[in-house]
Amino acid sequence: MYKRWLIIFSALIVVVFSFTVCSQIEVGKFDILIKNGKIVDGTGNPWFYGDVGIRGDKIVEMGNLARKTADKIIDAKGLVVSPGFIDMHTHCDSDLGKPSSNANLNYMTQGVTTVVTGNCGDSISLKVAATKAKWEDQGIGTNAVFLVGHGTIRKTVMGTEPREATREEIEKMKSILHKAMEEGAWGMSTGLQSIPDRFATTEEIIVLTKVVGEFGGIFTSHQRSEEKYMVEATQETIRIGRETGVHVNTAHIKAGGKSNWGKMKKASRLINEARSQGIYMTADLYPYDKAAVGSIEQNFNIPNDMEPLAELREKMRDRDLPEMERQQFREQYAEELVKALSDPVKREQIKKLTTEGAPDQSNFAVMYGWDSFSIVTARKNTHLIGKIISDLAEEQGRDPFDVAADLFIEEKDDVFTSVDTMSEDDMKHVMMQDWLMFSSDGRARPIKKKIDKPTPGHPRYFGSFPRALRKYVREEKVLTLENALRKMSSLPASFLKMKDRGLLVKGFKADIVIFDPKTIRDNATYADSHQYSKGIEYVIINGKISIENGEYNGDLSGEVLLLTENK
């Protein structure tokens, strides 16, 4: 009898206890509840209907949460709910610390919630902890991952000397890199086409990449060639992956210049082969067939001793130069260049160097040929917009350099060209590879004001991700929505070995983007590159809403993510 009572009593306790716990869960509201959306979870799996419950900075519940409540309910009917985008290739570190651009709005409005910075061998600093403290003190709009630039390390140890590093110098580089990794850097980038990175042997890169490997970090490379030798350059990256066991990535993969079209397919085959041999390799791509956009004079090579142009150029290289002063130097430079181009002797010197190329100055005219240059903006000669420089030269029976030089004399910085580098066919081929992720190769820009004049430049800083979703998913159907979103979220996260971002799944960080798949679009163009994208209705970063109904609310909830905290 006593035993029976004990059983009944215990059962009662269990019932009461579970009731209390259940009601606590019922009472425990979410901070944010996203309802009725089509969930594309980032795995590549087909969409499904479901709700997402967020508490603090985490996704705490997913599924049918119709009976739950929250402080904030977002009705995502008709919209897609996906993990926030991770941009593997940016140069945002140069501007995230500035109060004018710390919101990183040109990325947030693309649905990007994490930017990987410090690419192409060039990072603003080697001090990761201090940079994190500075940025977070001021606040940053998106999360940021910090890579250390190989060029930055090399410059610190041996300047820009064009030679192999000594054993001692390599040891110094290793210890600088080691320190940065201890502070939470996520890996190392190279810019093997630039000074001083390009003076490094493959062996130097391998030794350093092994240091990154000790911490589980990654390696990404702006390869030694993006033109004639891009296939060989890809082989070098594969070798680095093979000999270090580190995750390696080809940055902004491209085969520039018409004579090199088709090489992307070869490189793509090599990457597939490497992967089948057990080498972890990926690549990222910005979805535009044009590369560098800039004032037409950027295609000229100016002799290093031609003053005052050389001195002014040196001054403008200073990264800490206030924007006003830079602008003044820029105007002065343009005036001086007009003078030089109007002087027959100096003009001839510039022409010779531009046509033949200079060993220490990269030159698009030599690399790609004048038939790759189209005019994207010209204030006085609007009828020339869209024209190719070599076509104009042929029409006028003149040398292409003279056409470009005279346009500059007439317009100064009001005439911009783009370099038409890539083949659309090549791009679509790599885009369809499982290991290809989307990126932007851009920078954080100041928040745009209504009165700002159109800014000619490359639209990828403002438009890359919405462009991929508009052009290659909705219009041309090269990729399914699910696959494209995987390339923007879980693939970069998987390359980076991130433990709690890149997917919509319970327990992961609440970095979420909600958009309209029917209207999402890029608005930035070559002539007006600072135009925000449209169609991103909500952006949630670390559980905080930053964009609501398409409008930025001023929130700065981004964090600098450290590899050492990726547990």
Q: Which residues bind Zn ion (CB under 5 A)?
A: 120, 222
Question: Strand runs (DSSP E) across 482-561, as ranges?
Answer: 512-515, 536-541, 544-548, 551-552, 560-561
Q: Based on CB atoms, which residue is closest to Zn ion, 288 or 329?
A: 288
Q: Is 31 helix (H, G, I), strand (E, B) or coil?
A: strand
Q: Based on CB atoms, which residue is closest to Zn ion, 96 or 120?
A: 120
Q: Based on CB atoms, which residue is closest to Zn ion, 291 or 547?
A: 291
Measured distance CA(21)–CA(29) in Å, rounded: 14
Q: Based on CB atoms, which residue is closest to Zn ion, 492 or 502?
A: 492
What length is written for the chain? Answer: 567
To Zn ion, the closest distance from the beta carbon of 55 in angstroms equals 40
Question: Strand runs (DSSP E) across 45-186, as ranges?
Answer: 48-55, 58-63, 70-75, 80-83, 85-87, 112-117, 143-149
Q: Based on CB atoms, which residue is closest to Zn ion, 30 or 107?
A: 107
Question: Strand runs (DSSP E) across 80-142, as ranges?
Answer: 80-83, 85-87, 112-117
- Residue 432 CA from chain centroid, whole number: 19
To Zn ion, the closest distance from the beta carbon of 316 in angstroms equals 20
Two tokens, residue 555 = 């929130």
Q: Based on CB atoms, which residue is closest to Zn ion, 84 or 151?
A: 151
- The runs of H, that is alpha helices, within 245-343 are 263-276, 309-316, 323-342
- Judge whether 284 and 436 are in contact, CB under 8 Å: yes
Q: Based on CB atoms, which residue is closest to Zn ion, 252 or 445?
A: 252
Instruction: Tell me whether strands 80-83 and 290-295 are parallel, antiparallel or unpaired.
Output: unpaired
Q: Say how many Å lie between the first and final Cα of the chain, rounded.
A: 54
Measured distance CA(211)–CA(217) in Å, rounded: 9
Q: Based on CB atoms, which residue is closest to Zn ion, 191 or 543?
A: 191
Q: Based on CB atoms, which residue is closest to Zn ion, 120 or 367?
A: 120
- Judge whether 150 and 188 are in contact, CB under 8 Å: yes
Q: Based on CB atoms, which residue is closest to Zn ion, 286 or 329?
A: 286
Q: Based on CB atoms, which residue is closest to Zn ion, 189 or 377?
A: 189
* Residues 6 or more apart whose Cβ sits within 8 Å of residue 390: 369, 370, 371, 373, 400
Tell me the C-alpha to C-alpha distance, in Å, between residue 200 and each of 161, 189, 191, 229, 450: 10, 13, 10, 17, 46
Omega before residue 308 within 30° of 0, cis: yes
Residue type for 83, please? P
To Zn ion, the closest distance from the beta carbon of 119 in angstroms equals 6
Q: Which of 5, 65, 4, 69 is nearest to 31 (CA)?
A: 69
Residue type for 336, please? E
Measured distance CA(417)–CA(450) in Å, rounded: 25
Q: Is 526 helix (H, G, I), strand (E, B) or coil?
A: coil
- The runs of H, that is alpha helices, within 1-95 are 2-27
